[in-house]
Amino acid sequence: MKRLSGRAIRRGSSERKYLERSQPISVHQVHIIAAETETHRNGRSAKNMKIEKLETFVAVNWMMVRITTDNGIQGVGESTFFGWPGASKDVVLSFEPYLIGQDPLRTEHHWNYMYRAKSMRGGAIGGGISAIDQALWDIKGKYFEAPVWQLLGGKARDAVRAMLVLPTGTLEEVANAAAAAKADGFTAVKCLLYQHDHAPMRHSERIQDLVDRMAAVRDAVGWDMDVGVEIHRNMIPGEAIVLAQEIEKFRPYFFEDPVAPDSILSFGEVSEKTRIPMAAGERNLTIWEFREYIESAGVHHVRPDIGVAGGFTHCKKICAIAESHHQGVIPHAVPSGPVATAAHVQLGACVPNYEVQEHLYEEKPPYSDVVKEIIKLDHGWLQIPEVPGIGVELDEEGIAKHPYEYGPITHALRDDGSVALR
């Protein structure tokens, strides 16, 4: 029978009686020690730990969840179903009768139960499930006294590269913001090539304006900085193809969401007619949607959002699908709140094909108010927490300062009074 030295066994209260022995111990005794250690961890065994309480909080545009176990461990998560936090909140509360009394460590089981319990799916449901899943993984990390990245495979990198999302504005303002980002240590920025106000510009004028913006940003940062381009689904395929071919000379890092995600064929048409790598996925929710986009739409960088695409349980699988096709992961992380940002950093720490994480300068209220301590940004690099769980805790007083304000839904009209398609 194989024997191990007592020194090979992790020290703890339940092991002490074995470590005091001078003779070797058996593998069978190792299993007994492990079982006893689990029983003493946090005062009770994982087998008996149960979900006792579920709370929701809404601040600014962020819906956050906090789950508490009967032995006092708390986990937090965030839905990023932007503009509709109340809808995701209702989804979370609808799962409360199921979750109370359950073992919080059964993350795979709970994800499948919640996903398959709802026959009608979408962003609100995806957001609710994602927030719950993050909170359960936060609990799991705290229970096992390890960061979530440790439970998901360990570090693949020492820090997560951040990509600053540039503000919209005049051509000069955008160029200055890009130059400032480079001076602050960022090695990547994202340029938003669209107009928020949907100005009624004519085709040739519109294309020229966007080309000028890309040229200004490239001129401001030089060639030693990556510049991604986002169209935000504001074009039809014909326009997107023309713009892509015009800006190829500036070597964009990627060409993101030129058209709406509801037509894989249209997206594929744009991809076939440009040499710029394509990025998409912030509106996709499942491994099945991402697989089709990767295989049929010519996507080179997938963009899952951990706040709507299933939390840790599902996003890790999405990243693996991309890896199997030699594709990179550039998650959708703006305008996420600090909880989702922390969750993304945990994912980025352990996913090998995680390229860069979009980010905003958010070291001030309301972002910094809703959690007790935000994830640190150091010269363009997001620092990976070493503490158990996802690394942040909610600040209820700070949350109360920034209630969500419901407002009217608006959309642009074209010159002739018809509803704008983009």
> Would you please indicate which residues are annotated as catalytic (active-site) residues?
232, 332
22 C-beta neighbours (distance < 10 Å), count: 5
Count of other CB atoms within 10 angstroms of residue 39:
14
Distance CA 344, CA 369 (A): 19
CA atoms within 13 A on the CB side of 316: 19
Q: Which distant-in-sequence residues (6+ apart) come within 8 Å of 270 by Cβ?
A: 237, 240, 241, 244, 255, 258, 259, 278
Closest by CA position to 170, among listed 204, 213, 133:
213
Rounded CA separation 99/206 (Å):
51
